[in-house]
A and B are shown apart, each in its own frame.
Chain A
Amino acid sequence: MEKLGVHRDASQLISVREFLTSWDASVIPGMEMISTKSDAAMLKALSKEMGTPIDTLQELSTVCGESTLKCADEIKQPEFLEKVPPDVNLMTLRVQRDELERRQKNPTYKTFIKKAMRLKKCDYLMNFPPDAAQVKEECPKEFCVQHPDVIITAHVHQPNNTHLSFNMKIGLDQTLLVLGCERLTDLRDKITCVNDLALAGDLSENPDFTPEHYAKDIYKSGFFYIEGCFYNDFRDGGSQDYSQVIRDWAKEPGRGIGPMQSVAMEDTSFLDLNIRLGQPYIYLHQGDCEHLIVFSDIRVLSYQDPQDIRDYPLVTHKHLKNQTKCRVCQMHASRWMAYDSEHSPENPSFFCEQCFRALHYDEHGNKIGNFQAFRYFDKSAVI
């Protein structure tokens, strides 16, 4: 492909399959993992690896054990993290003490720091829910992940409808971990966009009518655009090729944009791709709902990641947005969006179910006033 723009922070082109195969035997298959993580098992594995007898290793393990790193006076965990012990002579701690003071004095600074930190509190709670049982069940054989494999971090951003407003912000919506063996269609299915739930049509005349199909079911086509190639979703018979228009436009002589390809999404797995990390790609669905997709990390799958293939693609971050409240009661989430309703100063306005019925319909269910009403789902309605 000629003239494909590359973001200044993006890495060079990485072939995922090559990445996986380029690691040598010390990594794949790595060390022999014995399922019981006891010390004896470890010594056995190490002695095989290092070629030394077990008694030497026993000695070594006491010399190099983790207890050698503990200082004489250990402070318990929660207190440890809150305050900096005064008697330790490390520059890091001095700096951290100043930092904590600064945070306390200046609440703006504190919020700045909280935003600047990489990991968000909501993610932390999602990944380490405090009430989750520590017991991990062994997943059945057929659902176990196959090693070796790669795990890719994909960031999906909020839809950027350029025809509505020109908005250059990259708002992170979700972060997912996908396996290399999975197909692009798996990723597509896991991405939840509120536009998929939109219900078409003015329902003011018959508010009780519930359309059977979400927009997701009506408009099924979509594509990923990655490195000059369109991966279209042709699973359904009626799916269109959204990329046809773009490809015809690009083919015009004199544009300098090279011919682009179109491939079926369901035939491509992540291992087949050549991607750049940090380069924004596009996911298009519903005809005009565009999401930026960024792959930020590729690494080899390890035994400490979740081993159940049914978990993948695994959502590790979700953007939390406040609910759009009903303009009348300010309590419930709004489910109706009304244009030209005389009850509200803004146009369009949002009502919850009860307020909507109460204001716009009389006791017989007749429509009062001249307005248009649409079913509304805001971001928080998406699970």
Chain B
Amino acid sequence: MRQERFPPYNPTNGVRTDFEALLQKFTDTESVRYEEFAAIWRDMKFSFLFAGRQDDREVQDFVDECFKIALKFCLPPHNFQIRVGGLYILYGIYCTQPTVKRRKIRVTQDIWNKILEFQSEAHQQEHLDVEFIFHKLRYHEAFHYCATESYVYPNKSDTVIDVTTREEFREEQSMLYELFSTDVLEQLAAVHQHYHHMKVALENKKNIAQGETETDMPAKSLDVIQQDLVPGITKALIHYQEKRKALQRVKKNAAETEESEGDLEEEDYSVFLRMGEGTSRQASVKNKAFKKLAKSSKSRRHRQTLGDTSEGESPQKRRKRQKAPNYSLPHVPVSMTSIKIKHVKEEKEVDGSVNNDENDEDKHDEDEDNFIMNMPVLDDLPPIPQASTAPKSINKGNVSTRKRKTEAKEAAKASTSSKRRPTSKATPVNSDLPKAKLKVKVKSGKTPARSKR
């Protein structure tokens, strides 16, 4: 359907930022006086907020959404000053809305009670202007007292984007951190230490009874749990957080490229439309159908299908198409790889000119901008990488890469598979192998690791 090509319509892009900027300035004045607020309002020219809306109904839509956003600032858990600022913003928008008939602010029972509490607080502190503005709004019947915050309609959740999803995102993360909050981890560490001491004490008691020296290790038979429990948990959490951030970044990039791709498709389609209906539609459908390439299995990874290289397309476009992710793995945090590459690079630069002739090749590869992971050149690496799952993903990364030097990789992999432990802490270490010949192109565009022939 055509509508899926465009992102859902959100008339209030950027409004929240503007409100936050305004409130920031208001809190900087450290006062709750309306005059200060009005001065900032005039200074930021906020009455122009509605400019550019084509007709009245668009303004009405926009104003309704603005009210929703501004109302959130009037509620707890914001502090008193922000709530006053929120009320002033509501007043400002209500008075300056350029509609024929003024739109009202929708409040539910819950919200209304909270606002009344807030007003009684202001009354106690004798903030006359806060009260005055609130009662003035009431007098002008600026509020609609409703059962729900906005209208309810079946299948509405398919089209509406909630500005607050980002917060939900954060909440999701924080639940994990709630589970493993600092207190919990500290307590866990304390309990762990206590346990360790008890085991040691037990062992020592036995040793003293037998006349041996004291040790600080518990008996082997009591060694049943993971030794570094708490550090392991923290590392896993950090890794998860970084992974998630990287994923979000990639998603954002992908969304942008997809959008631009969508535009491309849109323009193409309209070209065909002018040419003729029947055949072009088939052609465009076919185009779409074959855009997503089938990913071949691991055994065939050296012969994976390439991106659609239609003739006459500039390399620019080709690159964009190929960006459509062909892989489904978690992306290794860029920082991780950059560390490794730095190490390797420093090492290689000493060797210098030998690799100069390879430079051109690599630069060419850079253009392709593929996410080929490094088979880290091993001696030079720090012994154990930080996160336990990073090496795994590096290895996985190798699976879907462009194949130029496959033998080295396969050989390396084969020899190290036996050595790999379940929590693969170490990267494959085999010094008698020829050093890995694969190159890394990280999206950050750093010069890739050089390999020795």
Q: Which of B92-100, B168-176, B427-435 contacts A (4 or more CB under 8 A)?
A: B92-100
Partner of A68, one of B38, B151, B263: B38
Give the secondary structure class of B's interface: helix
| Among B51, B57, B131: residue with most chain A CB under 10 A | B51
B109 near A93: Cβ-Cβ < 8 Å: no
- The number of inter-chain residue pairs (CB within 8 angstroms) is 216
B153 near A294: Cβ-Cβ < 8 Å: yes
- The number of residues on chain B lying at the interface, defined by a beta carbon within 8 Å of a beta carbon of chain A, is 72
Report B27-54 residues with CB < 8 Å from chain A CB: 34-35, 38, 41-42, 44-54
Asked if B133 is an interface residue, CB under 8 A from chain A, the answer is yes
B48 near A302: Cβ-Cβ < 8 Å: no
A84 near B52: Cβ-Cβ < 8 Å: yes
Residues of chain B within 8 A (CB-CB) of A85 are 48, 51
B14 near A94: Cβ-Cβ < 8 Å: yes
Partner of A117, one of B38, B61, B136, B147: B61
B51 near A153: Cβ-Cβ < 8 Å: no
Residues of chain B within 8 A (CB-CB) of A82 are 52, 54
Residues of chain A within 8 A (CB-CB) of B60 are 119
Residues of chain A within 8 A (CB-CB) of B38 are 64, 68-69
Q: Cα distance A61–B146 when bound, in Å?
A: 29
A171 to chain B, nearest CB (A): 13
Partner of B136, one of A64, A80, A298: A64
Q: A11-B147, A100-B52 are in contact. Are A113 and B41 (CB under 8 A)?
A: no
Determine the residue in chain B with the shortest Cβ distance to A47. Answer: B135
Q: Cα distance A18–B154 when bound, in Å?
A: 24
B57 near A124: Cβ-Cβ < 8 Å: yes
Contact digits for B131-148, partner A, Cβ 8 Å, 1 yes 0 no: 111011011010011111
Asked if B56 is an interface residue, CB under 8 A from chain A, the answer is yes
Determine the residue in chain B with the shortest Cβ distance to A68. Answer: B38
Partner of A61, one of B46, B49, B132: B132
Residues of chain A within 8 A (CB-CB) of B141 are 30, 302-304
Give the secondary structure class of A's interface: mixed
Partner of A119, one of B47, B61, B92: B61
Q: A19-B147, A27-B145, A81-B54 are in contact. Are A296 and B153 (CB under 8 A)?
A: yes
B147 near A108: Cβ-Cβ < 8 Å: no
Report B97-130 residues with CB < 8 Å from chain A CB: 98, 100-101, 104, 106, 109, 112, 116, 128-129
B155 near A170: Cβ-Cβ < 8 Å: yes
A46 near B14: Cβ-Cβ < 8 Å: no
B138 near A116: Cβ-Cβ < 8 Å: no
B151 near A93: Cβ-Cβ < 8 Å: no
Asked if A89 is an interface residue, CB under 8 A from chain B, the answer is yes
Determine the residue in chain A with the shortest Cβ distance to B159. Answer: A116
| Among B17, B100, B147: residue with most chain A CB under 10 A | B147
B-side interface residues toward A, CB under 8 Å?
2-3, 6, 8-9, 12-15, 17-18, 34-35, 38, 41-42, 44-61, 91-92, 95-96, 98, 100-101, 104, 106, 109, 112, 116, 128-129, 131-133, 135-136, 138-139, 141, 144-148, 151-157, 159, 263, 266, 270
Counting from the closest, the 6 A-B pairs by CB-CB distance are A278-B152, A91-B14, A84-B52, A277-B152, A116-B9, A119-B57
Q: A11-B152, A81-B59 are in contact. List 7 more A-B contacts (CB 8 A).
A: A8-B157, A50-B135, A52-B128, A69-B95, A90-B49, A121-B57, A304-B141
